[in-house]
Amino acid sequence: MKYRTEKDSLGEFNVPAEALHGINTSRSLGNFPVSGFTLPSRQVAAIAIIKQACAMANMELGLLEKKKGAAIVKAAAKVASGGHGDQFPVDIFSSGSGTSHNMNVNEVIANLAEEALGGRRGEKKLVHPNDHVNMGQSTNDVFPSSIKVAAAPCVAELAGRTRGLVATLKRKSRQFDKIIKSGRTHLQDAVPVRMGQVFGAWAYSISKGEERLRCVMPRFMELAVGGNAVGTGINNHPRFRKLVIKHLNIIIKDAGAFKGVGAFKVAGHDIEAVHNTNDMAALSAAVSSLAVDVQRICNDLRLMASGPMTGFNEVNLPPVEPGSSIMPGKVNPSICEAVNMVCLKVFGNHQTIFMAAQSAQLELNVTMPVTGYTLLESLTILANGIMILDEKCVAGVTVNREVCERYALRSPSLATFLNPHIGYARASEVAKKAVREGKTVPEVVLEEGLMSKAELAKVFDPKKLTSPEG
């Protein structure tokens, strides 16, 4: 491999001759061979978009020569669209502020702009990664801002997938509304519910999860960019922050990936925005809370579909693959299991983000790369998990009506409806006798002469078993 020699404040270092990145990136590759996990492409694009906006703001302020600035904007746009993705190899577990990643992007953009203006890769004579691409910026304000810029479209996507699942659950709620099933508390027989009520409750819980996502976003859309090293905005024009946000919103308005994303805002408190990642922790908490409800639905579906001969066998889940390499004809709830694992990963990621947020010290949080990586991962995998749960599972669920009604009408919990007529103590004796002798509650009541058939018919009217209105 051929190399070129570059120089920085630490001295000289060999860089692969064909690399668009430079000395900072090469040093990082040698320093941090930890995991092989690199910055998500979404966040690389977000940093590049911020570089575009900063260059535009500096040109508008007359601080950056138009020709040079235009070259930077064009190069950054190319990176933002996914170009040269192999040039961002720095490990996530590197400098805690994200300096290695910010400089990686600065170097690639600078070299692209340098060549566009007639210079040579690695020379830094026409466009310098620090002086020009990073003008008015610090990693400390760019990197947390890039996490938010990258995450916002993911939140919109997750919210959309969530609304899709809610719509499917509501449709199933209407479809199954007249099917009675046995309720269960403590995994023991309880009073009946309608299957439609079960799916309706799930729909409502998921809709609340989507609402929690929306509630955290106004603060999440505040960006630290322009604050520079500690948020004070040193070396920057007083109008720089607002101009960066203005140009950033113009750029994303025309980007398809940002459809449904609102406008970003100047941070409410610039110093706080640099060192505090609690907005990210709050979003992660909302994502984790949504995953709790998704996990619950998957677990209930698996339980209700258990069997078919030795389980509940109340519902049928769409078969998506053979369930065993040895047992012919076996079909497993694979979609629910996959989504269960997604939720477990989201829970673990939230713990990482939460601990990272409280690890901030003084004017900087130095856990930025792992925070961004795990937050973007949670948003992405939960959105995809909800999509497959919706389309490949819930949409195709069917109910074994006869099984559900047999469980409901043979459950000793039906004795509960006798309380107003014969009292709790006598109803308890009826329930125990029904279980002991393998009979239904109505059969025992008639045997004991406690009520007439006509009275029982009114008490056990199916319409009255699942709602006070009947």
Query: Which of the residues are catalytic?
Result: 186, 324
Q: What is the DSSP secondary structure assignment for residue 317, as one 8-state letter?
A: P
Q: Is 193 helix (H, G, I), strand (E, B) or coil?
A: strand
Alpha-carbon distance values, 196 to 95, 180, 229, 234 (Å) = 52, 9, 56, 60
- Nearest by Cα to 177 from 197, 201, 204, 203: 197
Residues β-bridged to residue 192: 182
CA distance 185 to 280: 36
**Residue-by-residue DSSP string for 352-392:** HHHHHHTT-BTTB-S-HHHHHHHHHHHHHHHHHHHHHHHHH
Cβ distance 192 to 183 under 8 Å? yes
Contact assessment for residue 6 and residue 23, using Cβ atoms and an 8 Å cutoff? yes
127, 85 in Cβ contact below 8 A? no
How far apart CA 49 and CA 53 sit, in angstroms, is: 6
According to DSSP, the residues that pair with 331 across neighbouring strands are none
Query: Distance (Å, rounded) from C-alpha 359 to C-alpha 363?
Result: 12
Q: What are the C-alpha distances in Å from 393 to residues 109, 162, 196, 431?
A: 45, 14, 17, 37
| Cβ(448)–Cβ(430) below 8 Å | yes
Are 217 and 284 in contact, with CB atoms under 8 Å apart? no
30, 92, 123, 310, 375 from 39: Cα distances, Å: 17, 6, 26, 48, 12
Give how far the C-alpha of residue 71 lies from the chain's centroid of Cα atoms, to the nearest Å.
35
C-alpha to C-alpha distance for 164 and 384, rounded to whole angstroms: 12
| CB-based contact 145:224 (threshold 8 Å) | yes
Pairing of strands 265-266, 222-223: parallel
β-pairing verdict for 11-16 and 3-8: antiparallel
